[in-house]
Structure 1
Amino acid sequence: MLDVINTVVKAVNKVVWGWPMIVLLFGTHIFMTVRTGGIQRYIFRGIRLSVAKDPDGEGEVSQFGALTTALASTIGTGNIIGVGTAVALGGPGAVLWCWLTGVFGIATKYSEALIAVKYRVKTEDGRMQGGAMYALEYGLKNKKLGKALGLMFAFFAAFASFGIGCATQVNAIATVCKENLGIQPWIIGIVVAFCTAIVIFGGIKTIANVCEKLVPFMALFYVVGCVIILGMNYDYIIPALVTIVKMAFTPGAVAGGLVGRGIMLAMRYGIARGLFSNESGMGSAPIAAAAAQTQNPVRQALVSATGTFWDTVVVCMLTGLVLVSTIMKNPAINANEVSDGGVLTSMAFGQIPVIGPIILVVGIISFAYSTVLGWAYYGERCVEYFGGKRALVPYRILYIIVAAIAPVAALDLVWLIADTLNAFMAIPNLIAVLALSSVIVAETRKYINNIDARDTTPVPVVKKYC
């Protein structure tokens, strides 16, 4: 039965991640880059705003809290194992497509966050709700179509949270702990489930407080570690860059068993892992953005856009350079014989005495656990959208159960299902971004040069989500 399910999921995954999805996703990134006038040029303003407080803005958490909650979910195993998978299956050229997905994806992340704040609502008990489902329901002129697409997004996102947000992350923690610390997987499952329960039952404010402290530490630790490794591989950095660019378009063999597999596979796995990593176009991060205290939609959208910059443009590129340069420097690693991204990443980092395994272990544990927290919040908001507040406790219990059993689950199938659900989530979200592109342009023109202006439009209060 499991083989049949695996075969079916593989077939569906191959279809949804074919050329149509690549064109839709990457095409939206480029289209919104043009429509917003190259919003990427404001990325450093967004970084400055992300650490500024906006106490007069309406919302539940600070801009930085919303950003770190989003970063908690995006900076996960996709940045380490996901990049390794892209290199193993798509060749070193996949790193370039992953990076380009991040560069152009900044515009899409900005756009989806803007409409999430623009069309957010407030429950009677004062909680902010927002995301692609609300943008579709309240933003599209065809209300029936908007509601149907909103439900579609919420449904797929809720189920995706168990895979991309929970099972794959906890399984990764269990694997790295067993291989490096000798701790049994079932113990890890219980510990992670307990720690997750304590945090997620506290709601968005508790999640944001934990993420504000955890995310900066884990990101800085990992980046510094990668820089040290690149310093040790300094003589292979330029050759690695040349290889990444060359193999993004042509097949061929390189040192260390690295093989360029041609433009189609490089694009497919690079863009797919780029989406899995930064979630630009998937519509998940805007759910956290909608809870932020902000004066206007553009201000928080700029802050949210920095998440893709940090996640893919910086962290994924560093991981890719570390992997390719280390493999090229160490012929004992034959990437052509490894199809598991996690194994390839472990082999690459393991070549670095002492510091390599430490960076990998601490990086995966902290990245993965933060993702579990961030996606728990996303899943809650989506479940509440179609199931009401009464559905929250059952969802949290099921989420914790999945965390407990994930270490003994079949990871390959879970990754495949998560990858497929990512595509199903992205479709209605990208429809929202494209259909509301004129709204995004109008709001950008209104506030981009007057970033502290207050949007006086009242946030509607709704009863059905209480």
Structure 2
Amino acid sequence: MDIMSILKQINGVLWGPIMLFLLLGTGILYTSKLRFPQVRRFKNIFKQAFGGIFKKEKTEGQEGGISSFQALATAIAAQVGTGNLAGVATAIASGGPGAVFWMWISAFFGMGTIFAEAVLAQTYTENIDGEVTGGPAYYIKKGLGSKFLAGFFAITIVIALGFVGNMVQSNSIGEAFNSAFGIPNLYVGIIVAILVAMIIFGGIGRIASFAEKVVPFMALLYIVGGLVIVLKNADMILPAFKMIIYGAFNPAAATGGIIGVSVKEAFRYGIARGLFSNEAGMGSTPHAHAVAKVKHPAQQGLVAIMGVIIDTLVICTFTALVVLMTGVIDTGLTGIALTQEAFARGFGAFGNPFIAICLLFFSFTTIVGWYFFGEANMKYLFGKGSLTIYRIAVLAFIVFGTTMKVPVVWELADMFNGLMVIPNLIALLGMISLVVKTFNDYESKYDKLGNLK
């Protein structure tokens, strides 16, 4: 049995029904215990996330941290990646249009999970050599009281995101630019590594500054591109939404039997794609939310919810609509090829370069975000002195990744992603009473718009 077969068997267990139901179930549990904060506090979420963008006033809280919006931008930088382009298309190709409905459901309940992650990350931080650091390793050790699980999480996320995951991202950039512009993959890898080095050697300040400037631009670019195609095919808007709703419960009726899938497959691929895309419960984004300077941990929990809204309910939905409205669903394509074909039909010759440019932004910002998440765990494991070696290793993996055939790398990334979810979910389920208590305290002190009572 070769390594590919072994990895597929492991991932079949790791990412099987049990994991998906645990992730979704944790979201449902938190959403009900917190009394649907994503609905009740929507105005508060919006104000907390965007209300301070143009204000330069000093924020109370942690020294050496970043602003709430910078933390959100850094989290979204990591959340919005190749999955928003390739993953959504794969979900539709494998689970039919109904997968999009279940993707929305997973995002809705994932908001409860990601709120809890951000609250715990804010509650348990450490000051390492003058820098505020936090994330699941820190709240697992301090809150759950398990050094073993904390160390296990830290090791798996460094491998999953910092090394293996970033190889996948750089490979996506290399392939896209080679296909669109004929540039050799290795050259693309070297250029990407140099640009990444210029950011990550500047520390969290430069990473946060980069994220708050680039993330809004890249999101807007993709949304505008998707909106143009949606408006050009306005007569297909209602049919597309009908395909999504019908497909969730009767896949054959949604496409006339073009895609032979069941409700079970629509559910499975939609839930999986939603959770993989917004990373709720995976333990990645709390590293960004931990270092935000806020007056109350629940404030950053509400900001974290906005990350799921932007990633899944906005960006993934635009990908889905473009795929469904341009009629490419019956081409037999999947992944990034399906998305490219959809935009090629919508934009003509400009479609392929447009996706290549979007993929560059999405993957590049994910590399920077994932680097930062790995950095927090390198500091946890080995202290700040280990960062130079870690940075050089990340840059080498970026270059190496562009030259590889990635099926094995994808499987490795999935395996380590699955392994890092386990200790994080144990912590989330073990500390639910603390999160509820923190949110109740916030609601007793702040009104519906987030103003002190």
Q: TM-score, normalised by structure 1?
A: 0.90
CA shift, 1:255, in A, is 5.3
Aligned to 2:330: 334
Aligned to 1:444: 439
Change in CA separation of 1:165 and 1:453 when aligned onto 2, cut-off 3 Å: farther
Does structure 1 residue 81 correspond to structure 2 residue 86?
Answer: yes
CA shift, 1:370, in A, is 0.5
CA shift, 1:296, in A, is 1.4
CA shift, 1:84, in A, is 1.2
Does structure 1 residue 344 correspond to structure 2 residue 343?
Answer: no
Alpha-carbon displacement from aligned partner over 1:285-316 (angstroms, at most 9, x marks no partner): 01111111111101111112210111111111
- Write the distance in 2 (CA, Å) between the matches of 1:232 and 1:69: 33
Name which of structure 1's ranges 222-231 and 251-260 shifts more when overlaid on structure 2: 251-260
CA shift, 1:361, in A, is 2.1
CA shift, 1:417, in A, is 2.2
Alignment of 1:34-49 (within 5 A): 34-41=32-39, 42-49=41-48
Change in CA separation of 1:30 and 1:129 when aligned onto 2, cut-off 3 Å: same
CA shift, 1:351, in A, is 1.0
Aligned to 2:373: 378
- Write the distance in 2 (CA, Å) between the matches of 1:133 and 1:453: 32
Paired positions, count: 441
CA shift, 1:453, in A, is 8.8
Q: TM-score, normalised by structure 2?
A: 0.92
> Where do 5+ consecutive residues of structure 1 fail to align?
455-466
CA shift, 1:274, in A, is 1.5
CA shift, 1:449, in A, is 4.8
Aligned to 1:458: none
Contact 2:107 2:309 in 1 (8 A): yes
SS of 1:248's equivalent?
A: helix
Aligned to 2:315: 315
Which of the residues 413, 423, 435 maps onto 2:408? 413
CA shift, 1:32, in A, is 0.6
- Write the distance in 1 (CA, Å) between the matches of 2:67 and 2:84: 25
Name which of structure 1's ranges 240-249 and 290-299 shifts more when overlaid on structure 2: 240-249
Alpha-carbon displacement from aligned partner over 1:266-300 (angstroms, at most 9, x marks no partner): 23322222222111111110111111111110111
Contact 1:17 1:268 in 2 (8 A): no
- The residue identity in structure 1 corresponding to 2:187 is I
- Write the distance in 2 (CA, Å) between the matches of 1:171 and 1:253: 38
Alpha-carbon displacement from aligned partner over 1:300-353 (angstroms, at most 9, x marks no partner): 1111221011111111112111112212xx5xx634x33x40111111111122
- Write the distance in 1 (CA, Å) between the matches of 2:451 and 2:338: 49
- Write the distance in 2 (CA, Å) between the matches of 1:256 and 1:415: 33
- Write the distance in 2 (CA, Å) between the matches of 1:163 and 1:258: 39
- The residue identity in structure 2 corresponding to 1:252 is A
Aligned to 2:153: 153
Contact 1:298 1:448 in 2 (8 A): no
Which of the residues 44, 53, 59 maps onto 1:55? 59
Aligned to 1:133: 137
Aligned to 1:95: 100
> Where do 5+ consecutive residues of structure 2 fail to align?
none
- Write the distance in 2 (CA, Å) between the matches of 1:217 and 1:450: 35
Contact 2:164 2:397 in 1 (8 A): no
Name which of structure 1's ranges 294-303 and 411-420 shifts more when overlaid on structure 2: 411-420
Name which of structure 1's ranges 56-65 and 240-249 shifts more when overlaid on structure 2: 240-249
- Write the distance in 2 (CA, Å) between the matches of 1:385 and 1:442: 27
- Write the distance in 2 (CA, Å) between the matches of 1:256 and 1:176: 33
Alpha-carbon displacement from aligned partner over 1:345-366 (angstroms, at most 9, x marks no partner): 1111111224533431221111
RMSD after superposition: 2.0
SS of 2:197's equivalent?
A: helix
- The residue identity in structure 2 corresponding to 1:189 is G
Contact 1:163 1:415 in 2 (8 A): no
- The residue identity in structure 1 corresponding to 2:42 is I
- The residue identity in structure 1 corresponding to 2:345 is Q
CA shift, 1:172, in A, is 1.1
Name which of structure 1's ranges 230-239 and 31-40 shifts more when overlaid on structure 2: 230-239
Change in CA separation of 1:393 and 1:402 when aligned onto 2, cut-off 3 Å: same
Contact 1:165 1:376 in 2 (8 A): no
Which of the residues 15, 19, 22 maps onto 1:21? 19
CA shift, 1:110, in A, is 0.5
SS of 1:259's equivalent?
A: coil
SS of 2:2's equivalent?
A: helix
- Write the distance in 2 (CA, Å) between the matches of 1:13 and 1:204: 33
Contact 1:92 1:258 in 2 (8 A): no
- Write the distance in 2 (CA, Å) between the matches of 1:97 and 1:139: 32
